Amino acid sequence: MYRTQTCGELRIADAGRETTLCGWVQHNRDMGGMTFIDLRDRYGITQLVFNMSENEALCRQAREAGREFVLQVKGTVAERSNKNPKISTGDVEVIVRELTVLNPSKNPPFTIEDESDGGEDLRMQYRYLDIRRNPVRQNIMFRHRLAQETRRYLDGQDFVEVETPVLIKSTPEGARDFVVPSRMNPGEFYALPQSPQTFKQLLMVAGLDKYYQVVKCFRDEDLRADRQPEFTQVDCELSFVDRDDVLQTFEGLVKHLFQAVKDTRLGDMPRLPYDEAMKLYGTDKPDTRFEMIIADLKDTVQGNGFRVFDEAGAVLAIVAPGCAEYTRKTLDELTDFVKKPQIGASGLVYLKCNADGTLKSSVDKFYDAGNLEKWKAATGAADGDLVLVLAGETVKTRKAMSALRLEMGRRCNLLDGDAFSALWVVDFPLFEKDEESGRLYAMHHPFTSPRQEDIPLLDSDPLSARANAYDMVINGVEVGGGSIRIHDRGLQQKMFDALGFTPEEAGRQFGFLMHAFEYGAPPHGGIAFGFDRLCSVFNHEESIRDFIAFPKNNAGRDVMIDAPSGISDDQLKELRLSLRGE
Amino acid sequence: MYRTQTCGELRIADAGRETTLCGWVQHNRDMGGMTFIDLRDRYGITQLVFNMSENEALCRQAREAGREFVLQVKGTVAERSNKNPKISTGDVEVIVRELTVLNPSKNPPFTIEDESDGGEDLRMQYRYLDIRRNPVRQNIMFRHRLAQETRRYLDGQDFVEVETPVLIKSTPEGARDFVVPSRMNPGEFYALPQSPQTFKQLLMVAGLDKYYQVVKCFRDEDLRADRQPEFTQVDCELSFVDRDDVLQTFEGLVKHLFQAVKDTRLGDMPRLPYDEAMKLYGTDKPDTRFEMIIADLKDTVQGNGFRVFDEAGAVLAIVAPGCAEYTRKTLDELTDFVKKPQIGASGLVYLKCNADGTLKSSVDKFYDAGNLEKWKAATGAADGDLVLVLAGETVKTRKAMSALRLEMGRRCNLLDGDAFSALWVVDFPLFEKDEESGRLYAMHHPFTSPRQEDIPLLDSDPLSARANAYDMVINGVEVGGGSIRIHDRGLQQKMFDALGFTPEEAGRQFGFLMHAFEYGAPPHGGIAFGFDRLCSVFNHEESIRDFIAFPKNNAGRDVMIDAPSGISDDQLKELRLSLRGE
């Protein structure tokens, strides 16, 4: 046994007790007559004391222990004269009698402190040292707790966790599949799952009734800050349920998680139809921590000879409270912001509702005071507020306005850093149209059920048909989504017809699932949560990478182990593969 | 809401209650005036009743509901006149008022009964129907419970579950790695982990102290009945521990699992050194549910002119109690058994210790009664027992004798089908020698620590050095294994020297782990359990496949989804790969 206590365990009541501790040297302070070492492990920090006058040899040995050396010490717990109230062990120290260096350490390439001096690249390369820092370790332990509580809730609701295969079948539409050559079946490949969608539906056909899995999924695509080639889903499916059953169950899950790991009571989640979300917030992932809903100014502003507005499909406005006094410079910044390529607006119109009741817009040439009063009324702006207006093609303008709304939320300090606001977005469109080919595509996947009352629209007006699909959105982040599936073969056929699938195409792409559905598929539906993202949203963090022990960078590389990498020609030969040139 | 109760829920106290149930038609019995349907879901079976005289149309509709149709019924719970004590709902039935066919079913290709008429191949192809059968579903739910309890125990001991990457680095020695071409890094490959060994050691360097993970691992190798290309490990690692700490922790885990899921109190696990295990049982995976230890007859039998014995490296015997009266035919069967290629003995010698005290051997030509009495004494055989003797090269003979011992255990009914006998096998050899090259290989892996007292042997007699490694064996099956790792750089260097690694080779194969070890690696060690195998051993089953929802066959194929399969040339092109001919 290497230790009798951990470095986070000793308290004032232990004074006088013999102890053996192990850990890493956090700080080593040579004060002349005394040497103090802060010894750190996962559980905390304990101060060690060495006294020149009592044991010179031991004290000199202690001075040699550099940062991150691994030590084992034996000694006596004593009350500290100057206590440290910031740490749980701050009332005591250990008077060391015996010191063993279990392992020395080279000087680490960055400081192992809450605020490190190491840049991101360096810390990723030495991730095993980065994890020694409190914030990173706490994220990893948070993830563990969140997974524990997820399982506890679902287990308690009679869900069965089932491991579905990782080596599955590559499908023709699986353009973003990672594939795995099979040595035993030359020329053939497995694919890694982008989600266990098919298998969880098969488990419903199998009568498992309630399934979940905390499961790795894979997607070989260009990466952004919040994407990883491997990511974790909380994947769930239930039989004999309608939409309300699913929403209630998983609203319950997320409320449980907030209660258990954040001690936060989350309110009931409103259900916002997709159309409403787009109208009010310009996005299907609204951040509802603040109001600032979008007003439709089109009818108010058109017909006054201002071509930008007159020719626009949409004229949208938000009110920034108390911002009427923004300077020219600030307004120029906002104009630059909306014109950024990723935002995509062509310009920004403003209306200052001054505190003295006067109005001043950037388009006074076209609109007189009477016109502008109508703007003010239509947006509900008060004296002192700033109205910001974007105009153009509807989809683009909504997207830009959604970004501007978030920007103004930040600038106006409306985004409470500690707040959580969750909602369901429901009634997504069933189809989207590819503008080039004119062909319809399933917005989720072809097994997503339409809303019952919209089934006739499949024939008459498919683009108006709504799906029985739902997303959970927290603080403007989509944390999960799912749908009720089609279990009726006639309806499935209608769906394939609308998507322009021939029976052959449908069979080739979805054959074995359709086959399984012939043997008594129950009504079923489910949801999948992005677990990495759930972790980051719970902690008000932007990046999921902070919650992954060994993440990959934007090029899909693990810089610590240097993967991916070349493999030997022998290995390629055995797989019956060769590399092509450019 | 589709249902108010499940099919396993209704009891006599519910009589008179309105209920709505959903499920599959297990049986449909038309008794003329009455029709009875057994409706099944995951939770149980409930009998539905339809009465011609009360509602002829409904009764006729019910008769049409074939096997595996999915029904929703509304009705009234009533007490049954002839109760079925075999099922928990057997006291009641539901008088149905309303019936909806939620989905019809084609006639399933095999019967959905505990004993199905479907062969293995057919059941694998229609796995989603096979899972509807009680035994298969119960296995999957057992696996879930075992994973739950594993996590509960380890969580309670402060272990942190950390997800390690699935897309890792292919290593030169990773001959059995599955590889994954990276689209974003053309010509480069990830590998799928055969185990998270490196990462868990890095997590110890990272100070995580106690790590576990229930994790998928992958090995691209020829398959046997108890191997799968993807399998699940319970992977664990601890810091600041010696061997006893590890053995106690995981003996505790397995005892907890037996208590929690089998309501069985498992005794303390003896620790058997590898050398002893080989001597007493001929294997490092002894089935200790029965004694029948191997006796060494070499000194007793040599020097009597019987060349088979005189030239043998080992002459080993077991005693089959009460088998002296075996017929010629049975003895011939046993001889055929030991001569099978996978057993590999060249013949079988026997000694019958007859009930009347006389002795009769198959080698009476060479051994007189006095000699044979010595055999009897040396083996401890009693009157009525049969002594079975194998001779030859030591390693081969032990292996054959181990197989014969199991065979005799079965024949003598010594293998209690309900019993569990667990032990630790410890002190494995550190190295094994490749006879062709004469080179030493690490029996576990090159980071396995030798026993402290055997370190000097690394220079003088490495093949005698014992590893600080351990396996847990239950009923003759290795369910887990691990070791204390080397954390001292000098010792690691000695180890690489003994293995004949140049510093370059060592660096190339183990570079980033060795690099990490320079920054304060703590003493650490761990274990990994084969989770699929643990499931099968707990249930006295031979095959792990029964405990995997969607297993692959011996050719590594998933016959249900038909994977692996070809991929398109476009996909290959995008990965910069082409297929080679033979």
Mean pLDDT by 10 residues, chain B (582 residues): 97 98 97 95 97 94 97 98 94 98 96 92 95 97 98 98 95 79 91 95 98 96 80 98 98 98 96 98 97 96 94 97 96 97 95 96 95 96 98 97 97 91 97 87 90 92 95 97 93 88 81 90 98 97 94 92 89 88 62
Q: Which residue in B524, B160, B237 sits closest to A42, CA to CA?
A: B160
Q: Which amino acid is at A247?
A: L
Segment holding B347, helix H or strand E: none
Q: Point out the residue among B155, B163, B555 whose CB comes nearest to the CB of A184.
A: B555
Residue contact A128–B555, C-beta within 8 A:
no
Q: In the predicted model, is pLDDT for residue A158 greater than 80? A: yes
Q: Given this model, what pLDDT does residue A248 score?
A: 98
- To the nearest whole angstrom, how far is the Cα of A554 from the nearest Cα of chain B? 10
Here the tokens at position A296 are: 């439709």
DSSP code for B434: -
For chains A and B, count residue pairs whose Cβ atoms are closer than 8 Å.
355
| Cα of B428 vs its chain's centroid, Å | 21
Which fold would CATH assign to domain B290-411? Gyrase A; domain 2 (3.30.1360)
Look up tokens 């989207």; give the residue.
A432
Here the tokens at position B189 are: 């490959």
Beta partners for A579? Answer: B577
Q: Given this model, what pLDDT does residue B493 score?
A: 85
Q: In the predicted model, is pLDDT for residue A305 greater than 70? A: yes
Residue contact B560–A199, C-beta within 8 A:
no
Q: Point out the residue among A70, A573, A576 whose CB comes nearest to the CB of B522.
A: A70
The interface pTM score, or ipTM, of the predicted complex is 0.95
Mean pLDDT of A480-491: 93
CA nearest A220 in B: which residue?
A: B183
Choosing among B41, B190, B227, which should be mutated to test the A contact, i.e. which has the most A CBs within 10 A? B190
Q: Which residue in B577, B580, B512 sits closest to B182, CA to CA?
A: B577
Q: Is A61 exposed, middle or buried (0-12, 13-18, 19+ CB in 10 A)?
A: middle
Share of chain A above pLDDT 70, in %: 99
Which fold would CATH assign to domain B156-272+421-548? BirA Bifunctional Protein; domain 2 (3.30.930)
Whether cis (ω within 30° of 0) applies to the bond prior to A462 is no
Whether cis (ω within 30° of 0) applies to the bond prior to B104 is no
DSSP for A514-525 reads HHHTTBTPPPEE
Residue contact B42–A166, C-beta within 8 A:
no
Q: Which residue in A485, A491, A502 sits closest to A445, CA to CA?
A: A485
DSSP code for A369: H
Q: In the predicted model, is pLDDT for residue A370 greater than 70? A: yes
Dihedral sign, CA of A273, A275, A279, A285? positive
Q: Given this model, what pLDDT does residue B446 score?
A: 87
Q: Given this model, what pLDDT does residue B263 score?
A: 96
- To the nearest whole angstrom, how far is the Cα of B210 from the nearest Cα of chain A? 9
Q: In the predicted model, is pLDDT for residue A171 greater than 80? A: no
User: DSSP strand E in B240-297: where?
Assistant: 271-273, 295-296
Identify the band that residue A148 occupies on the pLDDT scale cut at 50, 70 and 90. very high
pTM for this model (two decimals): 0.95
- To the nearest whole angstrom, how far is the Cα of B214 from the nearest Cα of chain A? 10
Residue contact A188–B516, C-beta within 8 A:
no
Give the whole-angstrom CA distance, residue B419 versus residue B475: 8
B306 contacts B367 by C-beta, under 8 angstroms: yes
pLDDT digits (tens, 9 = 90+) for A249-261: 999 999 999 999 9
A6 contacts B158 by C-beta, under 8 angstroms: no
pLDDT digits (tens, 9 = 90+) for A111-137: 999 999 989 899 999 999 999 999 999
B139 phi/psi in degrees, rounded to 5: -60, -45
- To the nearest whole angstrom, how far is the Cα of A194 from the nearest Cα of chain B? 14
Q: Given this model, what pLDDT does residue A417 score?
A: 82
B188 contacts B182 by C-beta, under 8 angstroms: yes
Q: Which residues of B touch A184 (CB under 8 A)?
A: 220, 222-223, 555-556
Give the whole-angstrom CA distance, residue B415 versus residue B413: 5
Tell me the CATH class for A12-103: mainly beta
Q: Point out the residue among B165, B520, B580 whose CB comes nearest to the CB of A105.
A: B520
Residue contact A163–B232, C-beta within 8 A:
yes
Domain spans of chain B, in order of start? 12-103, 156-272+421-548, 290-411
Give the whole-angstrom CA distance, residue B180 versus residue A188: 13
A271 contacts A548 by C-beta, under 8 angstroms: no
Residue contact B180–A183, C-beta within 8 A:
no
Coil, strand or helix at B571: helix
Q: In the predicted model, is pLDDT for residue A36 greater than 90? A: yes
Whether cis (ω within 30° of 0) applies to the bond prior to B165 is no
Q: Which residues of B touch A72 (CB under 8 A)?
A: 240
Residue contact A549–B2, C-beta within 8 A:
no
Look up tokens 């299907």; give the residue.
A284
Edge to edge, what strands does the sheet with B349-353 contain?
Answer: B295-296, B314-320, B386-392, B349-353, B359-361
Segment holding B109, helix H or strand E: none
- To the nearest whole angstrom, how far is the Cα of A251 from the nearest Cα of chain B? 17
CA nearest A133 in B: which residue?
A: B206
Q: Given this model, what pLDDT does residue A361 score?
A: 96
| Cα of B237 vs its chain's centroid, Å | 21
Q: Which residues of B touch A216 (CB under 8 A)?
A: 163, 166, 216
Q: In the predicted model, is pLDDT for residue A582 greater than 70? A: no
Residue contact A161–B147, C-beta within 8 A:
yes
Here the tokens at position A9 are: 């365990």
